[in-house]
Amino acid sequence: MPSEAATFRVAVKDHVMVAHSLRGAVFGPAQRLHGATYEVTAEFAAPQLDANGIVLDIGRAHEVLAAVLAPLRFQNLDELPSFAGRNTTTEFLARWLHGELAARVRDGFRGVLRVTLEESRVAWASYEGPIT
């Protein structure tokens, strides 16, 4: 029997290729338009399994992640209305993806979602928050 602190996790991955630029001297050459390929991980966590013995159906999780990423694929984020006037940093995108994923799984999942975007083997950013 799991302890009160125990957590079950399910994660799915996909990737997305985008272009964007970042405003502000802190970004150096990334102020110019450049491409980015992110490996995206959506990790769903819950303290207990549902009546089916799962956190969230893995197939559904993968489909939802693919659907959320689809409108971003091969797009210049600077040109998308969703991101008008925003710096689409890795951290910002992790939070934005969290919101989009949460809206699509809220009807069958209650727990915590962590979204991680890996820019490379050595650099990544995450956003984690509850889905209630």
- pLDDT tens, N- to C-terminus, the chain (132 residues): 555 567 999 999 999 999 999 999 999 999 999 999 999 999 999 999 999 999 999 999 999 999 999 999 999 999 999 999 999 999 999 999 999 999 999 998 999 999 999 999 999 999 999 998
d(CA 89, CA 60): 27
Query: And the tokens for 55?
Result: 């956190």
Q: Could you tell me the CATH superfamily of domain 8-131?
A: 6-pyruvoyl tetrahydropterin synthase/QueD (3.30.479.10)
pTM value is 0.93
Closest of 35, 41, 44 to residue 13, by C-alpha = 41
